[in-house]
Amino acid sequence: MGQRFIAAVSLGATLMLAAATAPGLAQSQLPRPGQLPPPGGAPQPQQQPQQRPQQAQPQQPPQQQQGANKPYKAVTVTPPKPMDDPSFEAFRKQLGAIAEKKDRAALAALVSRNFFWMGEKGDKADKKKSGIDNLAKAIGLDGKDAEGWDTLVGFAADPTAAPYPEKKDTVCAPAQPDFDDNDFGALLKATGTEDADWGYPEQAGIEMRASAQPNSAVVEKLGAHFVRVLDDEAAGNQQVPMLKVVAPSGKTGYVPADAISPLGNDELCYVKEGGAWKIAGFSGGE
């Protein structure tokens, strides 16, 4: 849901996500009819009966659902494997505990002096500031109820990591899955979608259910392949947030949000300094 589809479930999508450009989110960002000001600026609900048909227009089927529930070719994907390093696992546990407590001083000791922040236009880190200050700005640790702490908890919980080509001896997490680029590109072309519309199961055999209730009937079990995500907003009021997806068979259903990962996550990067793991940088953000 890096960032997952549902920030509260995993990273604070973000990951998900990646997820911000999904069709479901785009629909949710459209202004609602009741929020539009009437002509002239002043509210005149009793004097504008002619506007009711216009207000009903957004009730048309969302673009993401038009033609979405059609079968598509299954493209195999292999989820990334956990990093085989006991010291890295211990570091993640330490980082997670610090993030849970929102202990900025303790976190500062885990951030490299040479912290980088790779955005679309290169390194955005302010070299005049400390590593913790740059990290705080990158993921949002400042202010009351800062969501960046939840994001950090999500990063610490992810056991995967892969080498970062731009920096020597540096790894970033979460790692990306393995799949055939040509097959996935053909899938995007055939469905008229973008990579942000797709996710992959954390493991094969995930149960897709008929409704957003985790105890509803099982419609299908997902294999190790990409699935189309119709809505990256959590559904249902239960403790287990659910995502609406389409299987290669064309059937639609709901799966636990934390069971599906997106492509193109933001990444937190790590490096060993003096034999100890440090947060080396962040890749992503605006």
pLDDT at 197 over 90: yes
- What number of other Cβ atoms are within 10 A of residue 106's Cβ? 14
pLDDT > 60? residue 29: no
Say if residue 202's pLDDT is above 50.
yes
Min mean pLDDT across 50-59, 112-121, 189-198 is at 50-59
pLDDT recorded at residue 41: 37
Split at pLDDT 50, 70, 90, the class of 27 is: very low
Q: For residues 173-196, give the mean pLDDT.
A: 95
16/32: higher pLDDT: 16
Check residue 238 and give its pLDDT.
58
User: Side chain identity at 19, as an amino acid letter?
Assistant: A
Contacts of 56 (CB under 8 A, 6+ apart): 33
Sketch the domain layout of the chain as residue ranges.
Answer: 86-177+266-283, 179-262
CATH class of the domain whose range is 86-177+266-283: alpha beta
Does the pTM surpass 0.85? The reply is no
Low-confidence winner among 2-6, 132-136, 219-223 (lowest mean pLDDT): 2-6
Residue 19 CB coordination number (10 Å) = 28
Query: Does 275 have pLDDT greater than 70?
Result: yes
pLDDT value at residue 121: 83
pLDDT in tens, 92-151: 999 999 999 999 999 999 999 999 999 888 899 999 999 999 999 999 999 888 999 999
pLDDT attached to residue 45: 40
For residue 282, is pLDDT > 80? yes
In this structure, are residues 2 and 18 in contact, taking their beta carbons and an 8 Å threshold? yes
| pLDDT at 11 exceeding the cut of 50 | no
CA 94 to mean position of chain CA atoms:
23
Query: What confidence score (pLDDT) does residue 120 get?
Result: 83
What CATH number has the domain spanning 179-262?
2.30.30.40
**Taking residues 252-280, what's their average pLDDT?**
93
Q: Residue 181 and residue 158: Cα distance in Å, rounded? A: 24
- When pLDDT is averaged across residues 53-60 and rounded to a whole number, the result is 39
Mean pLDDT rounded to a whole number for the chain: 80
